[in-house]
């Protein structure tokens, strides 16, 4: 058993942790990095585990309105309740994040347009 706030639903249910569990945990860390709060935070460990099984985290736009929609979708996919709905591997997640980072920001596009 790990830290309750970073447990995957399958770990909460006492099932074996596999690669999909690691993706869920990484999604928790990414969410917390962006939002400044954990995606699932109860008053105690059992309450937190109940939230992991039954609740969806608040939209990242609530705490970070400028987050690219693709990044929010990527993090939400990591936090999917069903392991099969998450990224199949860390490499798949890396590919998704790299595509987001390689995309020029609105500011970059406006600056390029202005310099034409």
Closest of 5, 1, 17, 10 to residue 49, by C-alpha: 5
Domain that holds residue 30: 4-114
- Quick check: 40 and 57 in contact, CB under 8 A? yes
60-104 pLDDT, tens digit each? 999 889 899 999 999 999 999 999 999 999 999 999 998 988 776
CA torsion angle for 41, 75, 70, 91 (degrees, to 10)? 170
Tell me what the mean pLDDT of segment 35-44 comes to.
96
Structurally, the chain folds into a number of domains equal to: 1
For residue 28, which of 62, 64, 4 has the smallest C-alpha distance?
A: 4
Write out the two tokens for 90: 């860390």
Q: Phi and psi of 37, rounded to 5°?
A: -140, 155
Residue bearing tokens 């058993």: 1
Q: Which residue in 21, 30, 29 sits closest to 87, CA to CA?
A: 21
Tell whether the model's pLDDT for residue 1 goes beyond 60: no
Whether the predicted pLDDT of 110 surpasses 80: no
């Amino acid at each position: 058993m790990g830290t309750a706030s970073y447990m995957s639903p399958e770990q909460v249910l006492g099932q074996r942790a596999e690669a999909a569990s690691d993706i869920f945990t990484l999604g928790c860390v990414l969410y917390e990095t962006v939002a400044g709060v954990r995606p699932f935070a109860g008053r105690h460990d059992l309450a937190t585990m109940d939230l992991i099984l039954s609740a969806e985290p608040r939209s990242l736009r609530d705490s970070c309105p400028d987050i690219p929609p693709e990044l929010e979708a990527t993090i939400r996919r990591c936090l999917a309740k069903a392991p099969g709905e998450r990224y199949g591997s860390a490499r798949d997640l890396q590919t998704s994040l790299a595509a987001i980072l390689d995309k020029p920001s609105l500011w970059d596009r406006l600056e390029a347009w202005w310099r034409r």
